[in-house]
């Protein structure tokens, strides 16, 4: 069984969430950019903590992927693609969130199967 609070991918999601949420402090943002970065950042942070606390939770890894995709799309959907810093932060953090989430799915699946065998 995989131990809690150890998986690098989930720590990556936590760091990415913190970066997205705090980036509103140093970037020029609109209301849409501010709320997008703040909300998706906090949700990504919470998802990372969920994954760290429950390493057998495969759903949390898919949450990282979904949040990353939404964050990536948000500059176009919410109309802040012209705010270079906010848009690039959304794109980069979004892509990295998808990468860490996707790379953690096989590990979380194996941990989940290991926990299922212990019941």
Q: What is the pLDDT of residue 116?
A: 58
More confident site: 36 or 108: 36
Instruction: Spell out the residues 6+ positions from residue 1 whose beta carbon is closer than 8 angstroms to its own.
Output: 56, 111, 114, 115, 118
Q: What is the pLDDT of residue 74?
A: 98
Q: In this model, does residue 112 exceed pLDDT 80?
A: no
* Domain layout of the chain by residue ranges: 8-116
Q: How far apart are CA 27 and CA 21, in angstroms?
A: 11
């Amino acid at each position: 069984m995989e131990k809690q609070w150890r998986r690098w991918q989930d720590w990556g999601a936590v760091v990415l969430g913190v970066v997205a949420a705090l980036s509103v402090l140093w970037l020029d943002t609109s209301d849409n950019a501010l709320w997008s970065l703040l909300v998706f950042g906090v949700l990504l942070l919470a998802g990372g903590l969920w994954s760290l606390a429950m390493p057998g939770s495969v759903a949390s890894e898919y949450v990282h992927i979904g949040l990353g995709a939404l964050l990536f799309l948000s500059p176009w959907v919410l109309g802040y693609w012209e705010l270079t810093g906010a848009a690039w932060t959304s794109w980069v953090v979004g892509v990295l969130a998808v990468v860490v989430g996707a790379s953690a799915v096989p590990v979380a699946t194996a941990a989940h199967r290991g926990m299922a065998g212990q019941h």
